[in-house]
Amino acid sequence: MEQLIGRESEKQTLLAALNTSGSELVAIFGRRRVGKTFLVRSVYYKQLIFEFSGMHSGSMKRQLQNFNNTLQSYSKKITPDEYSDNWLDAFEMLKKYISLKKTEGKKVVFLDEFPWIETPRAGFLSAFEHFWNSWASKQESLIVVICGSSASWMIKKIVNSKGGLHNRLTRRIRLMPFSLKETELYFINKKIKLDRYQIIQLYMVLGGIPYYLNSVQAGESAALCIDRTCFTKDGLLTGEFNNLYESLFNEARRHLEIVKVLAKHPEGLSRDNMTKYIGASSGGRLTATLTELEESGFISAYVPFGKSYKNKIFKLIDEFSFFYLKFMEHNPYPGEGTFIRFSISGIWKVWAGFAWERICLKHSRQIKEFLGISGIHSTDGVWRFKGNKEKQGSQIDLFIDRDDHCINICEMKFYNSPIIINKNYALEMKGKLDKFSDVTKTRKTLFLTLITTFGIKDNEHSTGLIQNSLTMDALFR
């Protein structure tokens, strides 16, 4: 089996369940293609006695037929004439199989794509609740793992269940995409040699999604890989975008509407501004859709400095969605060489700047570690000043507000060589710091922190202005 890369805390959580005296109910959720199934199979390969996966858009009849067939493949004692036509009976059959299965140590039952199994009026979830509460929870050597790509469904129906599974979970794991460091380790394990600049370019498009990263071939540059997977007729990701959202959300049109608006506004939008573009009310429907996108890892919310949580700014943080909507959706030049042409254009340079900012936001923990402030409680956020008759507008895409009376004002620049700070840029940065202090009335000390790919060349304009300079290596921690 392929080696499990990273996932150390998640691995320890699953292994700990093997060493308890009672039964365990474990929920794992995270977006599609992030590696949930591989995690379970890798950790529990010796203990796994039954694995069943729901079918996307499958009817109750198809789901049950699939379950019956799967159970029969595991047990010769289950015959076709025992097939059940309802979920209560199906779980009775599963109980019989588990009871007859003789193993040392704990047995693991894995129900994958759990939300897909729950079809209208099928009674699957209530039958599972009965299975767990009346029998499985009383077994001393049983672990039941339920897993789903629809993170919002898993959180609402399982993690925050108001019904039969209320407070029944013993462990839960939200599986996130690989960090840059995990992505680097993944390539090393696959004997793929890429420097960190190339890895960042790939990450801007593929994100930390293992399924996407698996498409990278040895001896291939980032540009060639992106060209092949995104712009050729049979490229792995040419049809991925719509399939991704349709497989996760019942009414994907609403989710796609929000994602497309946010892609056009990489600086982020407030909820009120979003309604101006999508024509939606500010009622519960929009709230529910935003929550589902956030829980599934496609968007993230940031609280502006000095504002409350209700004033949060939403940003699109899914790398592939951001890339697809800019370069793939209406691309008139499909075929080999498409991305190479894009990558030397001014449009790409502007887009890559926003993509770099998003990567830095996702790696704020690594930034804090490099700065030596990870032990200090802090809050990440953004700041926007629209401007008025007296003052020009300004924005800060990442600040780290620390409890030691300091704030790191982070400026993020993506470039293919060290940056030279000239007089105009220095004046711009000084003006931004002055405006932030003036508008927010903060009394905290401001540290201008520059995060670039290859660093800066020190000169008279950078000295005394830039307090911290980080290169891309700081994000690979």
Q: What is the CATH number of the domain that holds 62?
A: 3.40.50.300
Residue 210 burial by CB count (10 A; 0-12/13-18/19+): exposed, middle or buried?
Answer: buried
Per-residue pLDDT, averaged over 417-442, amounts to: 93
Mean pLDDT, the chain, rounded, equals 92
The confidence score (pLDDT) of residue 283 equals 59
Could you tell me if residue 212 is inside a domain?
Answer: no
Could you tell me if residue 329 is inside a domain?
Answer: no
281: confidence class by pLDDT, cuts 50, 70, 90: low
Q: Can you tell me the distance from the alpha carbon of 364 to that of 321, in angstroms, rounded to the nearest whole number? A: 21
Structure tokens at 319: 């790398």
pLDDT tens for each residue of 98-124: 999 988 899 999 999 999 999 999 999
Domain that holds residue 377: 363-475
Residue 333 has pLDDT above 70, yes or no: no
**HEC letters along 175-187:** CCCCCHHHHHHHH
Q: Can you tell me the distance from the alpha carbon of 347 to that of 471, in angstroms, rounded to the nearest whole number? A: 23
Could you tell me if residue 159 is inside a domain?
Answer: yes
Could you tell me if residue 452 is inside a domain?
Answer: yes
Q: What is the pTM of this model?
A: 0.92
The confidence score (pLDDT) of residue 411 equals 96
**∠125-127-129 over CA atoms, to 5°?**
70
Determine the 3-state secondary structure of 89 from DSSP. helix
pLDDT tens for each residue of 342-353: 888 889 999 999
Q: What stretch of H or E contains 253?
A: helix 252-264
- Domain end among 129, 146, 174: 174
pLDDT tens for each residue of 152-186: 899 999 999 999 999 999 999 999 999 999 999 99
Could you tell me if residue 222 is inside a domain?
Answer: no
Could you tell me if residue 444 is inside a domain?
Answer: yes
Q: Which segments of 175-264 are extended strands (E)? A: none
Could you tell me if residue 451 is inside a domain?
Answer: yes
**HEC letters along the chain:** CCCCCCCHHHHHHHHHHHHCCCCEEEEEECCCCCCHHHHHHHHCCCCEEEEEECCCCCCHHHHHHHHHHHHHHHCCCCCHHHCCCCHHHHHHHHHHHHHHCCCCCCEEEEEECHHHHCCCCCCHHHHHHHHHHHCHHHCCCEEEEEEECCHHHHHHHHHCCCCCCCCCCCEEEECCCCCHHHHHHHHHHCCCCCCHHHHHHHHHHHCCCHHHHCCCCCCCCHHHHHHHHHHCCCCCCCCHHHHHHHHHCCCHHHHHHHHHHHHHCCCCEEHHHHHHHHCCCCCHHHHHHHHHHHHCCCEEEECECCCCHHHCEEEECCHHHHHHHHHHCCCCCCCCCHHHHHHCCHHHHHHHHHHHHHHHHHCHHHHHHHHCCCCCCEEEEEEEECCCCCCCCEEEEEEEEECCCEEEEEEEECCCCCEECCHHHHHHHHHHHHHHHHHHCCCCEEEEEEEECCCEECCCCCCCCCCEEECHHHHCC
- If one counts the domains in the chain, the total is 2
pLDDT tens for each residue of 125-141: 999 999 999 999 999 99
pLDDT tens for each residue of 365-420: 999 999 999 999 999 988 988 877 777 888 898 999 999 999 999 999 999 999 99
Could you tell me if residue 431 is inside a domain?
Answer: yes
More confident residue, 195 or 249: 195
Q: Can you tell me the distance from the alpha carbon of 141 to that of 324, in angstroms, rounded to the nearest whole number? A: 46
Among the residue ranges 88-92, 270-274, 329-333, the one predicted with the least confidence is 329-333
The confidence score (pLDDT) of residue 80 equals 66
Cross-strand bridge partners of residue 143: 24, 108
- Domain end among 122, 148, 174: 174
pLDDT tens for each residue of 24-72: 999 999 988 999 999 999 999 999 999 999 999 899 999 999 999 999 9
Q: What stretch of H or E contains 346?
A: helix 346-362
- Domain end among 140, 174, 208: 174
Structure tokens at 454: 């290859």
Residue 76 burial by CB count (10 A; 0-12/13-18/19+): exposed, middle or buried?
Answer: exposed
Q: For residue 280, give the amino acid letter.
A: A
Residue 282 has pLDDT above 60, yes or no: no
Q: For position 407, which CATH number holds?
A: 3.40.1350
pLDDT above 70 coverage of the chain, percent: 97
Q: For residue 237, give the amino acid letter.
A: L
Q: Can you tell me the distance from the alpha carbon of 417 to that of 181, in angstroms, rounded to the nearest whole number? A: 21
Residue 235 has pLDDT above 60, yes or no: yes
The whole-angstrom distance between residue 139's C-alpha and the CA centroid of its chain comes to 34
